[in-house]
A = this chain, B = another copy of it.
């Protein structure tokens, strides 16, 4: 039996008719809300099992209401079973309310990762983890979030300028990330990993809650054991919405996940 926190907290009960039981724990919370990547990862567990394919290739979650610690149900509807790709839908429900709806395509990935089309386009350049400051997600009330205790986070010294009171104006965060309990990364963990870094919007001077409307993750390879490197970046700031792209690289330097989310910006004057 595994005792890794992530595996315990995404464990499913159920007999294979496509409906699974789960219990969300508060360990992946920011303030009192379950991290969106955690809920998406739970849905992916159910999809992988129901579709009988190990790896999420592309998954999209639309976040409909805030998930909280406690029992949850995941309902999977298989949509298509092809030779290399199987697709399905998952709904995560609590007390009859839908928290997130997910569409996903699953398959079997190699361990080699993808080939980059452009040279000079590799992982972010980072000092060794020991030379990078730690840090973590902070809730709207300023307290460190429980999810930050799950991960060992080592940010580039130039990242998180906002936490020193001087937002850089550069909507980018880079750093190292791994689970603190020593569990190695796999393709089940990656949909959570892409959603752990603090919002890039903070570097643009926004403060407060930046709720995810939609998060799409492409998993491109099975990660090697050890540290992951992550870069999050935003390009276009609208009046109400911002996109945030994340890339995750494994210890061999392979790009193993790419994600994009659309999030709502805090309204001016809203803490």
Residue ranges of A at the interface with B (Cβ–Cβ < 8 Å) = 57-58, 60, 62, 64-65, 79-80, 84-85, 87, 89, 98, 101, 103-105, 107, 109-110, 112, 114-118, 121, 169-171, 204, 213-214, 216, 218, 220-221, 234-241, 243, 255, 258, 260, 262, 264
Contacts and interface: CB of A to CB of B under 8 A. Distances in A.
Given A87-B64, A101-B79, A214-B60, A220 B239 contact: no
Given A84-B240, A103-B103, A235 B121 contact: yes
Q: Which of A60, A64, A255 has the most CB of B within 10 A?
A: A60
A243 to B, nearest CB: 6
6 contacts: A57-B262, A60-B214, A62-B103, A105-B262, A116-B235, A218-B243
Contacts of A84: 240, 264
Contacts of A110: 238-239
The oligomer's copy count stands at 2
A204 B117 CA distance: 8
Given A79-B98, A85-B213, A117 B60 contact: no
A79 B105 contact: no
A238 B117 CA distance: 10
Nearest to A258: B243
Contacts of A101: 79, 89, 103
Contacts of A64: 79-80, 87
A214 B116 contact: no
